[in-house]
Amino acid sequence: MPDTQPLDLDPADPQDGPAPPPDLTGRTLGDYQLLRRIGAGGMGQVYLARQLSLKRDVAVKLLRNDLATNPTALKRFQAEAEAVAKLNHPNIVHIHQIGEHAGTRYMVLEYVEGRNLREYLVRKGPPDLAVTLSVVRQVVLALQKAHEEGIVHRDIKPENILVTRKVEVKVTDFGLSRFFDGGKAAHNLTQSGVTLGTPLYMSPEQVQGKPVDHRSDVYSLGVTCYHLLAGEPPFKGVTPFDVAIKHVQETPRPLAEVRPDLPPDLCAMVHRMMAKAPDARYQSAREILRDLVRVRDGLAVSATPPAPLSFSATQTNGVPVPSGAVPTTPSATVPLTGPVPAAPPVRWGRWAVAAVGCAASLAAGVLVYAKVNPPHDAGAAPAAGLPDIRPPEKIVSTRERELIAALENRGTSPEKVVRWSIELGLLYVRERRLDEAEARFRKLEAEQFPATGPLKKLDPDAMAARDASAAGRLGEAIVLAYRDTEAAAKASNELVVRVADSPFPRLPPKAGPFERGAAAMEALRLRHPDLGHALADALNRNAAALGKTRLEPAVLEQLRATPRGGK
């Protein structure tokens, strides 16, 4: 039977410290079984989930219980979801559904297999130029679609740019972070601790609490590009406030000094996007796309920005409309959203006033503004049909190369062979290279290590020799779980049970063989927490594929729990 009791989504009491909200892995919300928590924030939690009816993976965002009982918050949640649903674009994460189950409000989104740009940069550093141009172009296409629909993202940053193994880009968190009503900040949401706009990437006008338009996204994109190319953001500081002020007052180090190998025109593009004044930036995504193609083709990029958009006195719901654009009627705007009122002029010599401006920016939400239709640039290439930069078919990470080289070294110790084989196999699973993962785990199962003598309690090599076979077979069970068929799920469960029922050497016979095997598996999971987490995820997938809320025998249910010593 599916779970019907309300889910506890409220954050911990502040007096109890920054404890994370309870992990709801394994619970079921209607058609969705929660497989693994992949994020948590002020609004609630995000889970990788399995849609049982369609047998597909999705991301489920759960709204916190205190917000779910606030009528105003619910209306804004619904209205913003409807606005974002308009953004049907291959480079934007799609919304599938918004709903409620047993008092819990949730949003179902497309699940993207891959990692965000920040994780990519931490693991691999700045990518090759061809990959960089491809990523940037796809982000620009996503922003072009949003801007055409009258939506300003307001939080473009590496964490909100997802990249798959094939370098397919998805921009996420459009309009899902903060909501506005008639130009007034939603104070109840502000009190929830949700903020929008990250100081490392905020535009000067955002920092100062001024009204923003699509050119604020252009600035944040420029900062993101700088980070992507240089390996670090242009401004850093001890506090977020320090960084925010630098966006207003300081000039970043020239990108050409950090990366003299880059095309000068590309560096100039990035700095133009990061111009302090909106009028000095690119005025549309179309212009950025045009110059990206010229950089790719080795053509010169115009050093003189085109004439900026002139804003007439015409306004729509308080937002200036570019000359020549047709104002949208009030009925065409998204309900419960609107512009941010202008803050008083900020005198940066006065820190108290600056703090007010910074706080106002952190209270800013996704701003829905009148559709921007900049005058057509005859020299601009059409946005549709622009050829993409095609990276190599197979992108091999530095870590994968390191692991393969280490495992091929005959002098590698048994403990490292087991640990690195598990890491490499799970890397393949995450990238859905299931055949390679299966081969790697089978090789681990068959590993024969030199005799190590009597097993010593704290001898890692001796324990590794004992662990290799069990770890390899558990890895094979994990791979089966990702085959996404009922038969594979059954085979995966059966393999786990066989491992638990297998005799583990040198264990005292104080209990039956099954109990000794389960205890040994628990010890194995504690020594290799990544394997333990992956096994728990796999068993949750199996439960979803089989339509079960509990697995039998009991050892499977025990292993679905997160390892006690896990991350």
> Between 1.20.1250.20, 1.10.510.10, 2.30.42.10, 2.30.110.10, what CATH number should domain 114-186+196-299 receive?
1.10.510.10
Q: Classify the C-alpha dihedral 377-379-385-390 as positive or negative.
A: negative
User: Could you tell me which of 520, 415, 412, 403 has the C-alpha nearest to residue 458?
Assistant: 415
Catalytic residue among 3, 57, 155, 537: 155
188: number of CA atoms within 13 Å, CB side? 14
- pLDDT tier at 339, thresholds 50, 70, 90: very low
What pLDDT score was predicted for residue 3? Answer: 52
For residue 527, the model assigns a pLDDT of 83
Q: Looking at residue 150, what is its pLDDT?
A: 84
Cis? peptide before 90, omega within 30° of 0:
no
Phi/psi at 323 (5° precision): -55, 135
Of the given ranges (129-133, 215-219, 303-307, 400-404), which has the lowest mean pLDDT? 303-307
Q: Is the pLDDT reported for residue 116 higher than 70?
A: yes
155: annotated active-site residue: yes
Centre a 10 Å sphere on the Cβ of residue 267 and count the other Cβ atoms it contains. 22
Q: Is 310 left (phi over 0), alpha (psi -120 to 50) or beta?
A: beta
- The listed range with the strongest mean pLDDT (167-181, 312-326, 483-497) is 483-497
**Predicted confidence (pLDDT) at residue 25 exceeds the cutoff of 60:** yes
Which comes out higher in pLDDT, residue 311 or 57? 57
Give the pLDDT band of residue 321 (cuts 50, 70, 90). very low
Q: What pLDDT does 364 receive? A: 42
Amino acid at the residue 52: L
Domain ranges across the chain: 24-111, 114-186+196-299, 398-451+458-560
Whole-number pLDDT of residue 370: 36
Average pLDDT of span 27-50: 87
Tell me how far apart the alpha carbons of residues 449 and 199 are, in angstroms, rounded to a whole number. 52
Mind listing the pLDDT tens digit for each residue in 69-93?
A: 778 767 767 766 776 788 889 999 9
Decide: residue 401, CB within 10 A, 0-12 exposed, 13-18 middle, 19+ buried. Answer: exposed
Cβ atoms of 215 and 283 closer than 8 Å? yes
Q: Is the pTM of this model over 0.75?
A: no
Task: Give the chain's mean pLDDT.
Answer: 74
* Number of neighbours of residue 315 by Cβ within 10 angstroms: 13
Amino acid residing at 446: A
Q: Which CATH number fits domain 24-111: 3.30.200.20, 3.30.360.30, 1.10.260.40, 3.40.50.720?
A: 3.30.200.20
Q: Which stretch of 97-111, 181-195, 257-271, 530-544 has the lowest confidence by average pLDDT? A: 181-195
pLDDT tens for 39-62 read: 876 667 899 999 999 999 999 988
Q: How many residues in the chain?
A: 567
Q: Whole-angstrom Cα distance, residue 463 to residue 328?
A: 69
Confidence of residue 515 (pLDDT cuts 50, 70, 90): low
At 333 the pLDDT is: 28
Contact 563, 526 (CB under 8 A): yes
Model confidence band, residue 64 (pLDDT cutoffs 50, 70, 90): confident
| Cα distance between residue 92 and residue 110, in whole Å | 9
**How far apart (Å, rounded) are the C-alpha atoms in residues 100 and 564?**
32
Angle 117-124/398-408 helices, nearest 10 degrees?
A: 40
Q: Residue 220 — very low, low, confident or very high, per pLDDT cuts 50/70/90?
A: very high
Share of the chain above pLDDT 90, in %: 34
Residue with tokens 């068959």, as numbered in its chain: 446
pLDDT for residue 366 is more than 50:
no
Task: Look at residue 184 and tell me whether its pLDDT is greater than 70.
Answer: no
Can you tell me the distance from the alpha carbon of 76 to that of 180, in angstroms, rounded to the nearest whole number? 8
